[in-house]
Amino acid sequence: MNNRGKINYIKNLPSNYTLQSQGGGGVLNLHYNRGHNNFDYRRSKNNNAIKYVGVILTIVALIIVLPKAFGALFHHTTEITIQVHDAEMYVNEEKPDFSAELICKDNTSKVLDDKSGITVQSLLDNINRGDGYTLASDGDGTNIGEFPIKCNLAGDIQNTLDGDLKDKVNFVVKLGTFRVKEIDEAHAKELADKAKAAYEQPMLALTFDDGPGPYTDDLLECFEKHDARATFFMVGKNIPNYPDAVKKMGDIGCEFGNHSYDHAKLTKLSIAEIQAEISQTNEAVQNITGRPSTVLRVPYGATNDAVNGACGMPMIQWSVDTLDWKTRSTEATVENVLNFAEDGDIILLHDIHETSVEAAKQLIPALQERGFKLVTVSELAKARGHKLENGNTYFSFHKGE
Ligand code: NI
């Protein structure tokens, strides 16, 4: 009745045998479990196959990894990362400049290629030079969204990386993100406040005709020194004679104006001739500065329907004539401006006369002291809420006009 002894006796039962009790009489049968045994047999066969595959994979992995690991010991790969910075703007506002930085944790004096002698530092300098890479995005600022900022290396640098420096330099580009944001309530308020402040600010647009000339540079220095701006209505044929002055105008925020190519009376010309007078001057400005002039002043103030229709630019006259060309007197010119200039006026001067430039150099600080901001014609128009239209003539931008 007690089967304990028998169990003890067969305690080292092989795994493919089991003890099964039969009926209620305490009789134990030794049962050879064939199925179980077959199952185990198959499993152990599978286990062996997995082991073999594992060993083979390990060997393959070592074959792949070891040379790299050893290679890394003797020929360490230099990693250079160009991290493109993120940028953001509100939709339809001024697009920001994209920027990036180079990151390399290696010793920069290391020679990368014995043949060319190129070092990490010279490669970094090469990439960092003005045209070593360009950054661009599909986002142009007019659509809301997120756009990657991509980096394109200059062709010669890419060729070096693909050629002599292959396997020696690992060049990684980390893209930046350009976010064009919707104008939210806070920003809309900020814009409105700014526009209101600009509208309220007393301002004048000093304008200079018939140049550039020998005194223009001197005048521009005065504008730069006082952080003031003006508009220069230039005669196209004079422009190639003073390229540095024209460049400087752009650099300090002055506006390029068009005053025809050779001071022609446009009302006496054919449509084709009018257009040539204007486009030749725009090209002359463009050749030096990379952009055309934005406003036109017709010589002698002479215009008619044909000129208005053909010119293709906003036309700017003046509200204060200093008569500087007539008096050729610094004192009289200064007095005329100080006596007559009011908020929103466009003031006519000529930078080809030394007396006028002397007058302007006195007027710039004097007008600022009286609270006037000295701006370009386009800035004055914008501050007073005017959008300049081609073929329309403007004389001033007083408040409420
Ligand atoms: Ni003129």
Over residues 58-83, the pLDDT tens digits come to: 777 777 766 555 555 556 789 999 99
pLDDT at 57: 78
DSSP, collapsed to helix, strand or coil, labels residue 117 as: coil
Q: What are 7-20's pLDDT values in tens digits?
A: 444 445 455 545 45
**Per-residue confidence (pLDDT) for residue 173, from 0 to 100:** 94
The pLDDT, as a whole number, for residue 8 is 42
pLDDT given for residue 41 in this prediction: 46
What is the 357 CA–ligand 1 centroid distance (Å)?
Answer: 15
- Dist CA 9 CA 223 (whole Å): 114
Cα of 6 from ligand 1 centre, angstroms: 128
Q: How far is the CA of 384 from the centre of ligand 1 (A)?
A: 26
Give the strand pairing for 169-174 and 100-103: unpaired
Query: Cα of 233 to ligand 1 centre, how many Å?
Result: 8
Detail the DSSP E strand segments found in 214-271.
231-234, 255-258
pTM listed for this prediction: 0.67
pLDDT at res. 61: 74
Closest CA to 126 of 155, 168, 150: 155
The whole-number pLDDT of residue 400 equals: 86
pLDDT at 359: 98
Grouping H, G, I as helix, E, B as strand and the rest as coil, residue 332 is helix
Distance 251 CA to ligand 1 centre (A): 24
Low-confidence ranges of the chain (pLDDT < 50): 1-11, 13, 17, 19, 23-28, 30, 35-41
* Cα-to-centroid distance, 261 and ligand 1 (Å): 11
User: What are the catalytic residues?
Assistant: 209, 350
Residues whose CB falls within 8 Å of the CB of residue 63, separated by 6 or more in sequence, listed in order: none
Q: With b meaning 16 or more CB within 10 Å and e meaning fewer, what string describes 291-317?
A: ebbbbbbbbeeebeeebeebbebbbbb
Centre of ligand 1 from the C-alpha of residue 71, in Å: 74
Q: Is 80 exposed, middle or buried (0-12, 13-18, 19+ CB in 10 A)?
A: buried
Angle at 103 between CA 98 and CA 108, to 5 degrees: 135
Q: Which residues contact 178 (CB under 8 A, 6 or more apart)?
A: 86, 87, 88, 98, 137, 139, 146, 147, 148, 149
- H or E, element range at 134: strand 133-137
The answer to whether 314 and 390 are in contact (CB under 8 A) is yes
